[in-house]
Structure 1
Amino acid sequence: MDSYLSVRSLASVVAQGLLQEVAERLDVPLEELVLLAVTYPGEKLLLKPQDRLYSDSLTAVGRLHVRRKDLSEVMNPFTDNTELQQRSARMLSTNTWDVAVTLTNFDWSIFNSIHEQELVYFTFSRHASGGHTVALELLLQRCNEVQLWVMTEVLMCPTLCKRVQLIKKFIKIAAHCKAQRNLNSFFAIVMGLNTAAVSRLSQTWEDPSLNHKAYRDAFKKMKTPKIPFLLLLLKDITFIHEGNKTFLDNLVNFEK
């Protein structure tokens, strides 16, 4: 049975670097492991130590599998077409409003626990937060997870017809999130639909909801409680921090 391990890496990481990280996390000798890129319906590519992971060699529906060398040939890398059909059917049968409510409730439980000081710690000492930004980082991770979830569901759709239906489904879920004043999940879904892997499947669209000025104007008019788009909020805080001096004439710049 496969197990899953989350590993944060740079875009320039090579196979050897990822294998080293996995080996340390699992306490397994590095020399016993190999890294394979697998695509549906089952093509396998054994990656060499210096192969870059994020390259054209990995297709949009590819997965990375770490295997022991003696078991690298014994694997069922992807679900069969029947399971893919069932997966799509389950997703298409869900109620879009209920999904949006679930996303909003989960996001709010995290957002409501974020202290204002976490934003300051994250901006001023991003590489050494010392555990002061746990809730903030959790919500950022949640945004990434929703984006990847949307992308995965669309790419795993076996037929064009169902893929179109699923994209419409996610657009409705995003609209419901916006109606529920959850702009964090709203933008996560929009970004998932606008990733290159998804947008290349059909005509690339330019979504007006990604306009930052329109977002800020709409957010100001929203009633509370509301969940902001956290990535843009942190970008604004970083811009204020880097664009203004902390001290002016040896005095603290309180305007900053």
Structure 2
Amino acid sequence: MGCLFVFWLSNDTANDRVSFQGKSSFVLHRCCSVVLDIPDQVIRVFKADQQSCYIIISKDTTAKEVVSHAVHEFNLTGAPETYSLCEVSVSPEGVIKQRRLPDQFSKLADRIQLNGRYYLKNNMETETLCSDEDAQELLRESQISLLQLSTIEVATQLSMRDFELFRNIEPTEYIDDLYKLDSKTGNAHLKQFEDVINQETFWVAMEILAEPNQLKRMKIIKHFIKIALHCRECKNFNSMFAVISGLNLAPVARLRGTWEKLPSKYEKHLRDLQDLFDPSRNMAKYRNILSSQSMQPPIIPLFPVVKKDITFLHEALLNLRQLS
């Protein structure tokens, strides 16, 4: 399964601690209520004896800063300068790879893979960070299926990621895209957000089609319907549409035996979700929900509709100019 999530916390935290970088308290605002000036990601840092702590960071937190916090959390007496942050990963064949991260290395939560760990290493010692036994445990932990993940958490993480992409789009990018301009600033953020809907759509289909067991396939479909419902609660209409589109792709829709096993309750949920994006009357139902007084920001709109509206507005202005 592709790694689409910023973080999740292990249920087994009896021997783990959480460090709050520069804050005495931290609340993860679900449903994309993102506060931009506080840390909003979590990484887990290990020592060679396999003790660990959780450290809350931002995307700009550097490896050097993480080392400083980890030294404090582990109650180590040495100066932070004598330690470094290392990434240890294990290949499917069991090969252990270790590398020291540069002090200014950032985006740590985004870079770590399921088969990897961050370790605090004493630069004055030649200790083995990850034994063969620990490597096998890491491999086992990395074998996570979609059904093991909370549907609320998946929807939240999708929404946080999509909102981060959406809010980075500059207004000029829409103009550059509309007029096909090759400006200095470009429209990279817009293109990145535009690609998200296809990525998420095909992710849904691939998860379902990769499962050979019919009953498990049905459970995965049910799981995605729950995720779409939670995306609606998060006001993430882009991911909600992507999930529904993935369920409607022909290779998935043809799985007649799988769909027959789906409980009627979830069939109704899916029909209700599809009804929201009814294309009749220029997607009136979707537009009515978006314009209702109860719909307050942050909202992640359906991007194809945004792009269509900008294009139609541009063409209408051209026609008005020609008439005048």
Relative to the length of structure 1, the TM-score reads 0.58
Instruction: In structure 1, give the amino acid aligned to 2:195.
Output: Q
Give the deviation of 1:186 after TM superposition: 0.9
Instruction: In structure 2, give the amino acid aligned to 1:92.
Output: L
Give the deviation of 1:93 after TM superposition: 1.4
Q: Which of 219, 230, 243 pairs up with 2:290? A: 219
Tell me which residue corresponds to 1:142.
196
Give the deviation of 1:129 after TM superposition: 6.3
1:228 counterpart SS class: coil
**Take 2:291 and 2:223, find their aligned partners in 1: how far apart are those partners?**
27
Give the deviation of 1:170 after TM superposition: 0.3
Instruction: In structure 2, give the amino acid aligned to 1:187.
Output: F
Distance 1:129 1:159, change over 3 A: farther
Give the deviation of 1:247 after TM superposition: 5.8
Tell me which residue corresponds to 1:195.
249
Instruction: In structure 1, give the amino acid aligned to 2:176.
Output: Y
Whether the aligned pair in 2 keeps the contact of 1:104 and 1:182 (CA below 8 Å) is yes
Give the deviation of 1:210 after TM superposition: 2.2
Whether the aligned pair in 2 keeps the contact of 1:122 and 1:129 (CA below 8 Å) is no
Whether the aligned pair in 2 keeps the contact of 1:101 and 1:177 (CA below 8 Å) is yes
Asked whether 1:172 is paired with 2:226, we answer: yes
Tell me which residue corresponds to 1:9.
none
Whether the aligned pair in 2 keeps the contact of 1:154 and 1:167 (CA below 8 Å) is yes
Within-5 A mapping of 1:57-206: 90-125=145-180, 128=182, 132-202=186-256
Give the deviation of 1:121 after TM superposition: 1.8
**Take 1:247 and 1:183, find their aligned partners in 2: how far apart are those partners?**
32
Give the deviation of 1:144 after TM superposition: 1.1
- The structure with the larger Rg is 2
1:248 counterpart SS class: helix
2:318 counterpart SS class: coil
Whether the aligned pair in 2 keeps the contact of 1:104 and 1:185 (CA below 8 Å) is yes
1:224 counterpart SS class: coil
1:242 counterpart SS class: helix
Structure 1 gap ranges (5+): 1-85, 252-256
RMSD: 2.5
**Take 1:231 and 1:146, find their aligned partners in 2: how far apart are those partners?**
14
Instruction: In structure 2, give the amino acid aligned to 1:102.
Output: Q
Distance 1:238 1:129, change over 3 A: farther
Structure 2 gap ranges (5+): 1-141, 261-269
Aligned residue pairs total: 164
Give the deviation of 1:114 after TM superposition: 0.8
Instruction: In structure 1, give the amino acid aligned to 2:197.
Output: C
**Take 1:216 and 1:125, find their aligned partners in 2: how far apart are those partners?**
27
**Take 2:302 and 2:165, find their aligned partners in 1: how far apart are those partners?**
13
**Take 1:187 and 1:123, find their aligned partners in 2: how far apart are those partners?**
23
Give the deviation of 1:209 after TM superposition: 2.7
Whether the aligned pair in 2 keeps the contact of 1:174 and 1:185 (CA below 8 Å) is yes
